[in-house]
Amino acid sequence: MSVRHTGVTTDPVIVRDDEQAACDVREVLDRIGDKWTVLVINELAHGVRRFRRLQRDVPGISQRMLTLTLRRLERDGLVVRTVYPTVPARVEYALTPTGHSLTSVLKAVADWAAEHRHTVIESRARWDSGTGAPGPGVDA
């Protein structure tokens, strides 16, 4: 375990090795790697939303999955749930600062996708063509 002095963080100077980092990534992926979480977060990034609105804006999501997703996000402190005791109960969901900070990461992923999507699709097409011919360079 080596010690560096990047001084970027306020943490002690012990550097997290990449095995630890990989483990962290897996943890996060276990949270946001499911089918709906990122879509819900993305929608909430636009602002406060009510349940129905979310279900409309996230096409294809079922009530059950929306509820489950929101509960998990709330449990992890990424989303806050506010209930207004009106007659037909009204509930609003909003990102916490922590939740909002996740959008930066999501953006990084989106940027990567935008840049490499074409390459990946191409590679997949070659693979599915049955040919083992790598062609002119696997990557640009």
Q: Which residues bind DNA (CB under 7 A)?
A: 34-36, 50-53, 60-65, 67-68, 70-71, 81, 83, 88-91
- Indicate the residue type of 2: S
Nearest distance in Å: CB 83, a copy of itself? 10
Choose the one of a copy of itself, DNA, none that binds residue 133, judging by a C-beta under 5 to 8 angstroms depending on kind.
none
Nearest distance in Å: CB 90, a copy of itself? 18
Does 90 engage in binding with a copy of itself (CB under 8 A)? no
Q: Which residues of 27-57 are buried (b: 16+ CB within 10 A; e: fewer)?
A: eeeeebeeebbbbbbebbeeeebebeebbee
Looking at the Cβ atoms of 44 and 61, the one nearer to DNA is 61
The H or E element that residue 55 is part of is helix 51-57
> What region, left, alpha or beta, does residue 7 occupy, with left being phi > 0 and alpha being psi -120 to 50 degrees?
left
Among 13, 14, 48, 138, binds a copy of itself (CB under 8 A): 138
